[in-house]
Amino acid sequence: MAKSYPPGSRTDDSRIKAVLGPTNTGKTHLAIERLCAHSSGAIGFPLRLLAREVYDRVCAIKGDDRVALITGEERIEPKNARWLLCTAEAMPVGADLSFVAIDEAQLGADRERGHIFTDRLLHARGRDETMILGSAIIEPLVRALLPQAEIVSRPRFSTLSHSGARKLSRIPPRSAIVAFSAEQVYAVAEMLRRFRGGAAVVMGALSPETRNKQVALYQSGEVDYLVATDAIGMGLNLDIDHVAFAGLSKFDGVRQRRLLTTEMAQIAGRAGRHQRDGTFGTLSGTGSHDAEFTPEEIYAIEEHRFAPLTRLFWRESRPRFDSLAALIGDLEQKPERSELAAAPEAIDLAVLKRLAEDPDVAGTVHGSAAVRRFWEACSLPDFRQAGIDTHSRFVARLWQDLRGGQLGGDFVARAIADLDRPAGDIDTLQMRIAAIRSWAYIAQRPDWVLARDEMAARARAVEARLSDALHARLTERFVNRRTSVLLKKLGGDAGLLPVTIKDDSVLVDGEPIGQLAGFRFRVDPQARLADRKLLLAAAERHLPALLDARGRALLTAIGAGGEGLSLQGTGILWDGERVALLTPGRSVLGPHVDCTATLASLTGPLRKDIEQALSAWLGDALAALKPLHVLQEASVGIAGGPELRALLIRLVEAGGMLVRSESGIDRLGKEQRDRLRRLGVTVGALDLFVPAMLKGPALEAWRSLQAVRGTEIPAIVPGMPPVIALPDKAAAPPGYRALGKQALRLDIGEKLLRGAHGARVNAGNKPFVIDPALAVSTGLSTLSYAQLLRLGGFTASVPRPLAARQFGPPMPPRWRWRPARRVDRDAVPQPPPPGGAFADLATLVR
């Protein structure tokens, strides 16, 4: 490594050039060219991810043994390294280097890290050339602070234009959707997985390795969409044609605020690379107040015209370490120049002040060397974003070990091993990666850790494993992988034999091996025994891909209206094969859909997609049960009283049909009965029923739900005719009332009884005549009609027969009505004596 020299001692010999302009102007590419043109040099970047990307590019030019990567968590420093790629914080300001560049210098206005970039702007110098890269908004401050600097403005290579608001379903491929919370990122990515095959996810909380792999997923074309936070605003050079903003405000650590126009432009500038134009816009149809750009913001972004910065944040970079008070005083010192402003209290200073107030901690810091070491401990970044209290406790615990010397290798190894657990969900893995980054930072310090190289290597290995696991979780959750292409035939390797399906027959290199019945593979008994083992091996190698293809075909069939799907009992069938089972849910009307074991070989995301799609299809298949859903919703309401709610619950469980004498309807008041009728329930003389449920589709759906609960229901009568024959001792099917050897549909029975009551009302208190014509027209026998009238409380008086030698039709019977106190529904009347229909009916009723 080149020797160091005091900052500022040779700056007069350094030519300073400020290359300013919007995104996609080739500033970073120019800096790399200039770096490689010098005998030595360094570039300071705002992100570890960008430093790593440029490190790989320079290694390809100069060789791995001559290029170093220096970040807080990772240090690759070959003995003969002459070109350094660093983060701004880890940049060696005083190194004797021919070339030095600082990237994104406008970040000197950032509240948390701005003082770092300001310090590098003022003090980082190359022996022969210094280059400052950034946005044009920093130009006035560069002229004021560095009057000797040469200003070079670079125009954008491509055009950036506003394309308005679009729904997520209309966002074009090769787009990035930018959100400003993890919850919103996950929600958008989940929608894209369902309808567009998937999306890569990039967030600031991800490790650089995970972000690289997610970016590679997008760059390779495996997915056409990228969902990200504003982490893509810097350092990620992607093939993005369009950037859609899911929102235009964010929480900046202090408050929720609208994005600055420069921040909008930094993010929107990711669209279009080199000579390819890009567009930006907003996401509409989010269910809330959709974000919209103002005309002024659109003009500023398209024309790259922004208000210049008026000041940069500054903090003393070379404070005194005489005491904690002197250190804090210097760090809180105000700048002398008007172009600089005192930096807001960053996390490192906040931790220092918090621990300096703790006598148990402050009492252990004596002497300038201890103060310097204590300040280095307080400067540990809060990778976990745990907040000042939690981070202070961690630093205090670290200091207790550091003040006595170096951390033991066993202690650090145990801490790293405790985090080496790749199991867990996305959030859990992110927290572990943040924690291991803290230990990676600690392990990089040679004066902090014994066996530094070994511990640093362990920390990097654990971070890599956790990153791989997180990448797998993100891909599994948000990407629906495409079907693998079958390998071409090559030699005798069974795994390379081509596998095809033709008319459900599985063919391996043209040889039939079996049949796919739904998702079940059945070996063809006619396969030759000599080839059986080879063909089975080939089928087993490729069958998962074929089954996945069939799974996507099922998904397509569901999306096309459920072609080939049917509901039979507790099973959902596709082309005659059961693919899912209904299991009890929280209510009788809300069963769960579980894929059968035959779908277990499908990938997890595909199987989950099928279950979700089948659940949606089941809702359509059970649409005939909407009247019961209305009753169920009313049963959980406050209005109506407990008696009505109890009755509604029983009606739902009984499929919308109850015997009146067992329903408790008589306990309801007039208002409750009116409410019941408004809900679509008919209160009949013998039964309570929902007319819409007396139809075949509704009853079939209800019968399936009863089967889920283990209740056997007689088969539904096709067409639901008014009257059906009933075998001896057979139970009436749903929707019917048994009347001897016949069963009458409930609504027809109510119609007949209402007709009889109509005749009663018209006659007043006198005996009346009932016309049996309507009953006869439905196909109801005299015996069955008589039983219906008896159950309804009707009795008849038969007139005396005609005297001898008197001729003519017999007199019709006269009827009276009185409600029976107790009805014997199982009593079977005796066969009627011969005679006319009126006489027969009257005799039976009597």
pLDDT one-digit tens code per residue, 239-269: 899 999 988 988 877 788 888 898 898 888 8
The domain boundary residue, chosen from 424, 459, 478? 478
What is the rounded average pLDDT of the residues 172-182? 89
Does residue 664 form part of some domain?
A: yes
Is 585 contained in some domain? no
SS3 label, residue 466: helix
Residue 238 pairs with which residues in a beta bridge?
A: none
**Domain contains 697:** yes
Residue at a domain's end among 247, 275, 303? 303
Q: For 236-246, how does the pLDDT look when each residue is reduced to its tens digit (9 = 90+)?
A: 678 899 999 98
- On whether residue 523 sits in a domain, the answer given is no
Integer CA distances (angstroms), 203 to 132, 197, 478, 568, in order = 27, 20, 14, 46
Residues 324, 109, 323: CA angle, nearest 5 degrees: 5
Number of Cβ within 10 Å of residue 772's Cβ equals 21
Report d(CA 329, CA 731) in Å as an integer: 93
Same domain, 662 and 766: no
Whole-Å CA distances, 208 to 82, 205, 439, 470, 599: 24, 9, 16, 12, 36
Provide φ and ψ at 688, rounded to 5°. -105, 130
Question: Which CATH number does the domain housing residue 36 bear?
Answer: 3.40.50.300
- Same domain? For 85 and 208 the reply is no
Three-state secondary structure call for residue 812:
coil
* Confidence (pLDDT) at 557: 83
Asked whether residue 683 is assigned to any structural domain, the reply reads yes
Distance of CA 549 to the CA centre of its chain: 23
If asked whether residues 771 and 680 sit together in one domain, one would say no
pLDDT category at 10 given cuts 50, 70, 90 is very low
Q: Please report the pLDDT score of residue 546 as a whole number.
A: 72
Q: Is residue 676 part of a domain?
A: yes
Instruction: Write out the DSSP string of 137-206.
Output: GGHHHHHHH-TTPEEEE---SS-EEEEEEEEGGGPPSSEEEE-SSHHHHHHHHHHHHHHHSB-EEE-TTS
Residues 30 and 107 in one domain: yes
Distance, in Å, from the CA atom of 314 to the CA atom of 116, rounded to the nearest integer, reads 8
Same domain, 146 and 197: no
Q: Are 40 and 83 in contact (CB under 8 A)?
A: yes
CA distance 365 to 395: 14
pLDDT tops 50 at residue 835:
no
Among 138, 153, 168, which residue terminates a domain? 153
Measured CA to CA, the distance from residue 288 to residue 247 in angstroms comes to 10
Q: What is the DSSP letter of 4?
A: B
The 10s digit of each residue's pLDDT in 72-113 is 888 889 988 999 999 999 998 888 999 999 999 999 998 888
Q: What letter would DSSP give residue 516?
A: E
Spell out the alpha helix ranges (H) of 8-93.
Answer: 27-37, 48-62
Among 79, 78, 85, 84, CA closest to 96: 84
* 460 and 318 within one domain: yes
pTM of the model: 0.56
**Domain count within the chain:** 5
CB 611 within 8 A of CB 591: no
pLDDT band at 759 (very low <50, low <70, confident <90, very high): confident
Could you list the residue range(s) of the whole structural domain that residue 263 is in?
160-303
pLDDT at 555: 84
What's residue 565's pLDDT? 83
Whether 319 and 458 map to the same domain: the answer is: yes
Question: Is there a single domain that holds both residue 359 and residue 424?
Answer: yes
Task: Kindly tell me if the per-residue pLDDT of 5 is higher than 60.
Answer: no
Provide CB contacts within 8 A for 701, sequence distance 6+.
567, 621, 622, 624, 625
Q: Tell me: the pLDDT tens digits for 789-805?
A: 888 888 877 777 777 77
Residue 833 has pLDDT above 50, yes or no: no
Q: Are residues 811 and 837 in the same domain?
A: yes
What tens digit of pLDDT does each residue of 448-502 get? 988 888 898 899 899 889 988 988 888 888 875 432 223 223 334 444 455 666 6
Report the DSSP beta bridge partners of residue 512.
507
Query: Residue 498 domain-assigned?
Result: no
Are 325 and 432 in the same domain?
yes
**CB contact set of 755 (below 8 Å; sequence gap of 6+):** 770, 771, 774
Asked if residue 328 and residue 185 are part of one domain, the reply reads no
- Tell me whether residue 15 is in a domain: yes
Are 277 and 360 within one domain?
Answer: no
Give the whole-angstrom CA distance, residue 394 versus residue 388.
10
